[in-house]
């Protein structure tokens, strides 16, 4: 799997294609808030390409607007990073890009042999009129590996997403990423049973990963513990957390 093949899987119509390279200075000017951000953009980005603009007149999907957000367009971009960056640095660059573009973005990020897809819902800022901010404060990013299920790549195609309006379409892509995340945790791939289940599924996924970190921490602590009573207590805690995590993973495996 490479970036070009992944982009092809989206099945974007010719009429929506832009295929223009975006200068790094645009990202630096519109998103970098510190000298460290500007340095990271300059040193670690190989290239940025605006692949497509998905608008009502290019894909036939109506716009969406309510008191929280306005989706008039979805931008599809390809982001190529230099070398192999630490997770925190690549995560920051992806976040900066989502903040810099005034539309919701589907971002394909390429780094050495690694690929990821990221999305970030946007809403109106509470205290700044006409300014959009990331709804969750950070993008939802999912690694895409060559052994990902074929069903995922099939589900990723534009014509497989909801066409009610652009917000629903974007939710459809987010549901694809959550389903792939669930596969990475459970070994079972199943498309979500409807985008209305998306918030619940994301909560299950987040909680399952939190529990995995806590279980790992307690296991390290138990391995170092010399008091038998404390070891027993820690092992009981681990079993309780493992049971909670198993229940969450079962729901994720069922597409819930």
Determine how many CB atoms are found less than 10 A away from the CB of residue 8.
12
The CA-based angle 8-60-142, given to 5 degrees, is: 40
d(CA 114, CA 109): 8
d(CA 43, CA 174): 30
8 Å CB contact between 173 and 180:
no
Strand partners, 123: 133
For 91, the token pair is: 């995560």
pLDDT for the residue numbered 85: 85
The one-character DSSP state at 15 is: G
8 Å CB contact between 248 and 208:
yes
pLDDT tens, position by position, for the chain (256 residues)? 799 999 999 999 999 999 999 998 888 888 888 999 999 999 999 999 999 999 999 999 999 999 999 999 999 999 999 988 888 999 999 999 999 998 999 999 999 879 999 999 999 988 776 788 898 878 999 999 989 999 999 999 999 999 999 999 999 999 999 999 999 998 989 887 677 778 888 888 889 999 999 999 999 999 999 999 999 999 999 999 999 999 988 888 877 5
């Amino acid at each position: 799997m490479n970036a070009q093949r992944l982009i092809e899987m989206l099945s974007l119509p010719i009429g929506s294609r832009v295929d223009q390279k975006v200068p790094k200075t645009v990202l630096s000017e519109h998103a970098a808030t510190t000298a460290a951000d500007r340095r990271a953009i300059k040193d670690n980005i190989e290239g940025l390409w605006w692949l497509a603009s998905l608008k009502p007149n290019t894909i036939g999907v109506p716009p969406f607007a309510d008191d929280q957000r306005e989706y008039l367009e979805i931008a599809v971009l390809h982001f190529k990073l230099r070398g192999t960056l630490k997770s925190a640095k690549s995560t920051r660059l992806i976040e900066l890009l989502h903040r810099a573009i005034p539309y919701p973005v589907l971002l394909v990020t390429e780094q050495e042999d690694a690929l990821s897809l990221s999305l970030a819902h946007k809403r109106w800022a509470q205290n700044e009129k006409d300014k959009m901010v990331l709804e969750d404060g950070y993008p939802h990013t999912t690694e895409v590996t060559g052994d990902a299920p074929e069903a995922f790549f099939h589900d990723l195609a534009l014509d497989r997403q909801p066409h009610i309006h652009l917000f629903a379409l974007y939710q459809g892509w987010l549901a694809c990423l959550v389903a792939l995340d669930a596969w990475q945790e459970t070994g079972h791939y199943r498309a979500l049973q409807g985008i209305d289940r998306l918030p619940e599924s994301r909560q299950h996924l987040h909680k399952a990963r939190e529990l995995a970190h806590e279980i790992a921490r307690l296991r390290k602590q138990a391995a170092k513990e010399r008091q038998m009573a404390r070891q027993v207590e820690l092992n009981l805690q681990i079993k309780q957390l493992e049971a909670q995590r198993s229940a969450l993973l079962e729901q994720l495996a069922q597409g819930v």
